[in-house]
Amino acid sequence: MVNEQENSITQSVSQRYAKAVTNGEEMCCPTGYNHEDLGQFIPEAVLKVSYGCGTPVGLSTVRTGEVVLDIGSGGGIDCFEASRKVGATGKVIGIDMTDEMLSLARTHAPTVAKNLGYPASNVDFRKGFAEAMPVEDDHVDLIISNCVINLAPDKKKVFREMFRVLQPGGRFTISDIVADQSIPQYMIHDSEKWGDCLSGALTIQDYWGGLREAGFRGLHQVTMIPWRVIDGIHFVSVTLTGYKTAVASSIFSPDFATLTGPFSQAEDESGTTYHRGTPQQVDEQTVHLLSLPPYKDYFVLTDHPLALTNQDPQLLAVFPEETPCLWEGHFAILLGPFLTVRDDDGHIYRCGEPLEICSKTLKVLQHPRYQPSFGTINRAREAVTAEPVICGTSTECC
């Protein structure tokens, strides 16, 4: 029964995207591609069928000669931009399940290669599904995907496939639509809303959790943009990055990690808990984890215990203002890389779980050191006229 439903969903989505090649329908939420720049080497026919929910910012990290995989390559726009980034010595693989999209992309691949000055196209468009990618194990340096995984009925399979095809040390940067709460059955069984990137949306907690279950670490947001609110459900466009870690030995192998803040307490993805300023002994695998980009700015790694006092300039605490606060409908969502964190006002944030916050806490989370880890939504359906509240345990405010 489940397979029949999944096949029905896949067929419905594929048919809708096939029609979009000819009728120009806007799918999901169009992104702000720089058509003037891309039009210098990508034909107009490809630019017209560019869909997604976030510009593939992962391409800004590409190094010459790398192998890039695009899941749900469509007409090929992201693959062709990746082709420009990796250079003639690199390789790009595009996977799509829709024949019409593949035909369009393959038709224009030689033109793009010529416009880039390459002797031949370095883009290989393959027919396949995200749940069963026609790609070798440990083959890819970077995976990109633009509002496609949302459309897959079995996302856990997609996440496992991503982990399989990435090289140790590889990374992904993907954009997708997620929701602040579970999708009700009436949306899940609405085939039209699958193509609109609504019915297939996972909660933020389940999306991040599925990626971690597949083996990824260092999961963190790049951007989070509110998109639509339907029946009280907030759909947001997120771009996130994660890594397939590889333990690398080095001459200097730190044995202790000291959390510098701004969190007073934090738990990493291996389950180790740190207290600000207090050295925590860690193993080599954890050292490698904390050396990833989303973690490294929050820690000092040493080969000896290093305690930091409140006067140490490396230590950071961000306290709320001593003023009344307002409840205006704001909810904060921890978006990684930590599993849980605690601020200096006693709030405990769990990755992917919306937590209602007051105006003072909202201002704290706008601090440059807090901001990269959080997204916010406002669930108030009407203008809020709440009176100021003096925060304290008796008011259950903080």
Query: What is the rounded CA–CA span in Å between residue 176 and residue 241?
Result: 12
Domain end marker among 203, 225, 243: 243
* pLDDT score recorded for residue 55: 63
Residue 180 within a domain: yes
Residue 228 within a domain: yes
**Same domain for 161 and 239:** yes
Query: What is the rounded CA–CA span in Å between residue 69 and residue 91?
Result: 9
**Same domain for 234 and 105:** yes
Range of the domain at 349: 330-395
**Same domain for 158 and 29:** yes
**Same domain for 187 and 272:** no
* pLDDT score recorded for residue 2: 42
**Same domain for 139 and 29:** yes
Residue 65 within a domain: yes
* pLDDT score recorded for residue 84: 96
**Same domain for 141 and 118:** yes
Domain end marker among 317, 338, 360: 317
* pLDDT score recorded for residue 123: 98
**Same domain for 204 and 170:** yes
**Same domain for 307 and 386:** no
* pLDDT score recorded for residue 254: 74
Report in angstroms the alpha-carbon separations of 370 from 226, 298, 338.
19, 11, 12
**Same domain for 214 and 288:** no
Question: CA angle at residue 74 from 91 to 34, to 5 degrees?
Answer: 80
Residue 212 within a domain: yes
> If residue 347 lies in a helix (H) or strand (E), which one and from where to where?
none
Q: Which residues are CB-neighbours of 11 under 8 A, at least 6 positions away?
A: none
* pLDDT score recorded for residue 165: 98
* pLDDT score recorded for residue 384: 74
* pLDDT score recorded for residue 31: 57
Are the beta carbons of 17 and 101 closer than 8 angstroms?
A: yes
By the 10 Å C-beta count (0-12 exposed, 13-18 middle, 19+ buried), 346 is classed as: exposed
What is the domain count for the chain? 3
Residue 324 within a domain: no
* pLDDT score recorded for residue 7: 55
**Same domain for 296 and 213:** no
Residue 94 within a domain: yes
What are the two backbone dihedrals, phi and then psi, of residue 364, each rounded to the nearest 5 degrees? -60, -45
**Same domain for 106 and 35:** yes
pTM for the predicted model, two decimal places: 0.89
Q: Residues in the chain with pLDDT < 70?
A: 1-32, 51-55, 194-195, 247-252, 386, 391-398
Residue 349 within a domain: yes
Residue 325 within a domain: no
**Same domain for 293 and 236:** no
CATH code of the domain covering residue 100: 3.40.50.150
Domain end marker among 317, 341, 366: 317
